[in-house]
Amino acid sequence: MVDLSARADRLEEYLDARGLEAAWFAEPNGFAWLTGGDNVVDADASHGVAAAGYDGAFRVITDNIESHRLADEQLPDAFAIESFPWYADSLAGAVADRSPLPAAVDFAGPEFAGPDFEPVEASRLRQPLTDDDVDRYRELGREAAAALETVCRNLEPEDPEYEVAAGIDISLSSRDVNTPVVLVGGAERAQSYRHYVPTDEPLGEYALVSITAERGGLYVSLTRTVAFDAPDWLEDRHRAAARVEATALAATRAAAAGDLGAGDDSGTGDGPGTAGDVFGAIREAYDAVGFAGEWKHHHQGGAAGYAGREWIARPDGDERVIAPMGYAWNPTVAGAKSEDTYLVGDDRHELLTKTGQWPTHAVESVPVDGVPAETFERHAPVIR
Domains, the chain: 4-125 (3.40.350.10), 131-383 (3.90.230.10)
Determine the pLDDT at residue 268.
42
pLDDT for 271 beyond 90: no
Q: pTM, whole model, 2 decimals?
A: 0.96
Helix, strand, or coil (residue 298):
coil
- The answer to whether 250 and 365 are in contact (CB under 8 A) is yes
Q: Residue 149: which pLDDT band, with cuts at 50, 70 and 90?
A: very high
CA atoms within 13 A on the CB side of 1: 7
Q: Region 269-288: what's the mean pLDDT?
A: 93
Query: How high is the pLDDT of residue 370?
Result: 80
pLDDT, one tens digit per residue, over 180-213 is 999 999 999 999 999 999 999 999 999 999 999 9
Say if CB 282 and CB 248 are below 8 A apart: yes
pLDDT digits (tens, 9 = 90+) for 5-19: 999 999 999 999 999
Query: Following DSSP, what letter does each residue of 137-162 receive, concatenated?
Result: HHHHHHHHHHHHHHHHTT--TT-BHH
Residue pair 303/296 in contact (Cβ under 8 Å)? The answer is no
pLDDT at 264 over 70: no
Q: How deeply is 236 buried, as exposed, middle or buried, from its count of CB atoms within 10 A (0-12, 13-18, 19+)?
A: middle
Residues contacting residue 23 through CB under 8 Å, at least 6 positions apart: 11, 14, 15, 53, 54, 55, 103, 104, 105, 120, 125
